Amino acid sequence: MPRRREPAPATPGLHRRSTLRTSSPRRGAIAGSDRPAVLSIRLNQEECPVQHPKPLNKPEAAGDDAGFGLVEVLVAMLVFAIVAVSVAYSVTLTLTTTKDSKAREIALNLASAEIDSVRAIGDPFDVFSATSTVTQGETYTIQRVASWVSAAGADATCSASGGTLRYKRVNVTVTWTGMGPTGIAARADTLMAPTSRINDPAKGTIFISVLGANGLGLAGVTPTVSGTSSPPVEPTDIEGCSFVLGVTPGNYSVSLNLPNYVDTTHTQNSRVPVATGTLAVVAGASTSFQFQYDRAGLFPTRYATNRAALATTPNMAITFPPNLKTNFVSTLGVYPRTESPTESGSNPRVATLSTSTKLFPVQSGYQAFAGDYRATTPEQAGCEVADPAAWGLDNSTGVDLIGQRSQGQFAAPGATASPINVPMGIVQVARTASSNRNNLVAVQVTAPQVDGEPTCATSPLTIRFGAVFTNNNAIRIALPFGSWRLYATRQSTTSVPGSDATVMVQPQHVTVLSNVIPGRANADATGIITIDPRGITP
């Protein structure tokens, strides 16, 4: 068999010829020829291109940079946010600074205008501290502080003694809403000298300070200066100050006396120094006299208001002690007033004083209780048994019972407070039918008779009710809290105890109606009754 020739490999871009030769003795011979027939086929690559398989796409290698990943997006967003915030902050800061600069310019103009208005007044005695507001877009607060300066260069006030006056210093501060990041107020200052000489090296100065109940200066009060000389005195200014210049050295007192005004001792005619005495005024120096003085508050009182809780005939008339002492309690201390209450009305009956008590209108208000009272101090023992709040806790019934004052009441200067309730002991007494002893006398027992009762270290108080037994009917009396003995006597002046005085012991003769604690309604074998405030509602 003839060997077959392998075709040469195709070269890209070149035409390739392929020849196919076949020989067969049986077919394909050319007529008249003994050569085998040869079939020649010519192939043109352009006419029949060879199809090669396409290569497969290779996977991208790890870390290929093609496209954006999630990390790149987040970083881009972060950068954009930082830039946006920075731009916004810069714009906001610029706007705020511009606004603050404009507001500060207005504030400085207001401070300068305030200084100009002060200088226009001229007389430093007419320039005072003040606060005002102005609205120009923002709300501006203008605070002016005016203070005298002494010869030593220190601030001088009328409420303190010191050197003589030299000039007045005025400081103006202007603040406004939304002051901005600086937070610095606008300020301006000036000094004002008197238009004439106000000091004499051979003379002294008197400072007078008058404050109201609210602690602010009281204007328009003309003090009276008494002493070595009689210098002219001007009324107090809006700061409550009066300056008496050119005073001859010596000893002086100052007093105030205005109708319906009182000081902290509840006295209308107020004097410094109090009652007696004087203060020295020396050359080249100042002496201060201070007052707290205001229109009196009116405080009405109602007595034995706990009568409404009595089990029987609560509206039965009550006889009150003559010259009963009422103690008004406040942060100023205890102030006593002596007067017997009188009853009015029928249902209910109300016992009051003839007039409301004039008291200094202290902010804390007042409470009240009846009876003689002396506070205990480190220097001396007192007698606090009349004060319900001074009694100790009682738990004899299994319930904690305490004594309590009534609710405190407040009155503004010149106003009237709500009535102050004053609880008291209520005792029913009756004489023996055959007795001719018509007078009733109550004598205080100073030693405690029950647990929690305060000791009274003063002399026993004696209350003479007078001839209250006009017949054999029982009467009711009011007594301050504490322990007592009751005597029936022929004369109102009869000494007790004594042969002409009968101690009221029997239950039909004396019964305490107001006591809440059981077992304390009757006298003991010696005639002692205890008026106990614990458990009583004022």
Residue 247, domain extent: 204-295
Residue at 273 is within a domain: yes
Say if CB 468 and CB 477 are below 8 A apart: yes
Among 251, 280, 295, where does a domain finish? 295
Residue 286 has pLDDT above 70, yes or no: yes
Spatial distance between the Cα atoms of 379 and 12, rounded to a whole number of angstroms: 134
Residue at 480 is within a domain: yes
Q: What is the mean pLDDT of residues 268-291?
A: 90
Query: What confidence score (pLDDT) does residue 33 get?
Result: 44
Place 46 in a pLDDT band, splitting at 50, 70 and 90. very low
Across 143-152, 215-224, 244-253, 404-413, least confident range: 143-152
Relative to beta strand 261-263, strand 333-338 is unpaired
Residue 315 has pLDDT above 50, yes or no: yes
Residue at 451 is within a domain: yes
Q: What is the mean pLDDT of residues 326-349?
A: 92
- Going by the DSSP 8-state scheme, the letter that residue 273 receives in this structure is S
pLDDT tens-place string over residues 118-130: 999 988 999 999 9
Residue at 519 is within a domain: yes
Residue at 254 is within a domain: yes
Structure-token match 């706990």, residue found = 306
Query: What confidence score (pLDDT) does residue 458 get?
Result: 86
Q: What is the mean pLDDT of residues 339-349?
A: 88
Residue at 227 is within a domain: yes
358: nearest Cα among 260, 269, 291: 260
Residue 89 has pLDDT above 90, yes or no: no
Residue at 330 is within a domain: no
Cross-strand pairs, 135: 139
CATH number of the CATH domain containing 278: 2.60.40.10
Residue at 536 is within a domain: no
Query: What confidence score (pLDDT) does residue 307 get?
Result: 92
Task: Enter the pTM of the model.
Answer: 0.76
Query: What confidence score (pLDDT) does residue 1 get?
Result: 44
Query: What confidence score (pLDDT) does residue 433 get?
Result: 66
Q: Which residue has the higher pLDDT, 371 or 66?
A: 371
Query: What confidence score (pLDDT) does residue 224 get?
Result: 95
Among 295, 311, 339, where does a domain finish? 295
pLDDT tens-place string over residues 160-211: 888 788 889 999 999 988 776 667 888 999 999 887 778 888 999 999 999 9
Q: CA-based diameter of the chain, in Å?
A: 199
Tokens at residue 283, please? 């050359």
Relative to beta strand 301-303, strand 420-422 is parallel
Place 77 in a pLDDT band, splitting at 50, 70 and 90. confident
Q: What is the mean pLDDT of residues 365-373?
A: 96
Mean pLDDT of the residues in the chain: 85
pLDDT tens-place string over residues 5-25: 555 554 444 444 444 444 444
Q: Which residue has the higher pLDDT, 393 or 473?
A: 393
Residue 333 has pLDDT above 90, yes or no: yes
Q: Which residue has the higher pLDDT, 38 or 404?
A: 404
Spatial distance between the Cα atoms of 427 and 471, rounded to a whole number of angstroms: 17
Among 248, 280, 295, where does a domain finish? 295
Residue 34 has pLDDT above 70, yes or no: no
Q: What is the mean pLDDT of residues 324-348?
A: 93
Residue 53 has pLDDT above 60, yes or no: no
Query: What confidence score (pLDDT) does residue 17 get?
Result: 44
Instruction: Report the run of H or E that residue 429 belongs to, with start and end.
Output: strand 425-429
Place 235 in a pLDDT band, splitting at 50, 70 and 90. very high
Number of domains in the chain: 2
Query: What confidence score (pLDDT) does residue 23 get?
Result: 43
Across 74-78, 421-425, 439-443, least confident range: 74-78
Query: What confidence score (pLDDT) does residue 95 get?
Result: 65
Q: Is 362 exposed, middle or buried (0-12, 13-18, 19+ CB in 10 A)?
A: middle
The CA-based angle 205-210-215, given to 5 degrees, is 135
Tokens at residue 26, please? 């049986």
Q: Which residue has the higher pLDDT, 195 or 429?
A: 429
pLDDT tens-place string over residues 481-491: 999 999 998 88
CA distances for 311 relative to 314, 440, 464, 468, angstroms: 7, 25, 27, 23
Query: What confidence score (pLDDT) does residue 500 get?
Result: 78
Residue 402 has pLDDT above 70, yes or no: yes
